[in-house]
Amino acid sequence: MELNDCIAGRRSIRAYKDEPVSKEIVDKIIGAGAWAPSGMNTQPWRFVVIENRATINKLSQRVKEILLGMEWPDEIKERFTSEEDTIFYGTPLLVLVCVEKKEPSWRDVNLLDCGLAAENMFLAAYQEGLGSCFIGFGNFLNQDPNLLAEVGVPKDHELMAPLIFGYPVDIPEPKPREVKVLKWIR
Ligand SMILES: Cc1cc2nc3c(=O)[nH]c(=O)nc-3n(C[C@H](O)[C@H](O)[C@H](O)COP(=O)(O)O)c2cc1C
């Protein structure tokens, strides 16, 4: 696939077919993540791969519990009381991109590193016919280090990028983009 088509064709997908992703493709996705640039080439990302529905549901329920303890507009709150997996959207594949905990300035760099890894992973997934979505809500799981440790994120690590992948039920229309250049000095 042409890179430009891949960049413009990728969408955040929030409904997935009940179809597993092969190990070969998971390896490609994670491998693409590891090709991202990183501050001082630290390659800080560590991947936890979860394909087990019961585990994903448990994480989804926990995120909702945490979110319900916070202030939200009513229409958003509704999502958190649903029995459905309104956090990870019934995905067959959840990848938790995490890093070792660091002091704030390195943490910021590592967060960027993980974001770059995430986009690489999204594009690699799209090339394989998969949809994907960054689930920022999933980062609230950092409030439950015991549960994260249970699924393989060590307590001295922080979850930076919860990413979901799978075969899309349908492809949404693109959300229009605007290129906002503040200034261009020649
Ligand atoms: C850092 C970040 C956090 C996000 N968190 C969520 C989320 O928790 N739930 C969700 O459904 N989408 C989430 N998204 C997806 C965005 O809503 C989506 O990228 C945006 O609406 C643009 O749509 P597109 O990705 O289809 O182009 C997140 C995206 C990013 C980059």
pLDDT above 90: residue 75: no
- pLDDT given for residue 35 in this prediction: 98
Q: Please provide the CATH number assigned to the domain covering 13-52+88-166.
A: 3.40.109.10
7 — pLDDT class (breaks 50, 70, 90): very high
Q: Which of 12, 75, 130, 159 to mutate to test the pocket of ligand 1 (most atoms within 8 A of CB)?
A: 12
pLDDT above 90: residue 5: yes
pLDDT > 70: percent of the chain: 100
For the purposes of burial, counting CB atoms within 10 Å of the CB of 92, is it exposed (0-12), middle (13-18) or buried (19 or more)? buried
- pLDDT given for residue 76 in this prediction: 87
Residue that the structure tokens 């994670």 belong to: 30
Residue nearest to atom 5 of ligand 1 (CA): 136
- pLDDT given for residue 139 in this prediction: 98
Residue nearest to atom 31 of ligand 1 (CA): 134
Tell how far the Cα of 34 is from the centroid of ligand 1, in angstroms: 21
Residue-wise pLDDT tens digits, 11-20? 999 999 999 9
pLDDT above 90: residue 133: yes
Residue nearest to atom 11 of ligand 1 (CA): 135
- pLDDT given for residue 69 in this prediction: 94
Residue that the structure tokens 């906002």 belong to: 180
**Cβ(89)–Cβ(164) under 8 Å?**
yes
Residue 161 CA: nearest ligand 1 atom is 1
Tell how far the Cα of 134 is from the centroid of ligand 1, in angstroms: 5
Average predicted confidence (pLDDT) for the chain? 97
pLDDT above 90: residue 120: yes
Which residues, judged by CB distance below 6 Å to any ligand atom, belong to the binding site of ligand 1? 11-12, 14, 133-137, 175
Alpha carbons 43 and 46: distance in angstroms, whole number: 9
**Cβ(160)–Cβ(110) under 8 Å?**
yes
Cα dist from 168 to 6, 32, 85, 87, 112, whole Å: 15, 20, 16, 16, 27
Residue 13 CA: nearest ligand 1 atom is 26
pTM: 0.97
pLDDT above 90: residue 137: yes
Please compute the mean of the pLDDT values over residues 43-67 and round it to a whole number. 97
pLDDT > 90: percent of the chain: 95
Please compute the mean of the pLDDT values over residues 124-134 and round it to a whole number. 98
Alpha carbons 113 and 103: distance in angstroms, whole number: 15
Residue nearest to atom 4 of ligand 1 (CA): 136
Please compute the mean of the pLDDT values over residues 165-180 and round it to a whole number. 97
Q: What is the DSSP string of 50-84?
A: E--HHHHHHHHHHHHHHHHTS---HHHHHHHH-SS
Tell how far the Cα of 126 is from the centroid of ligand 1, in angstroms: 15
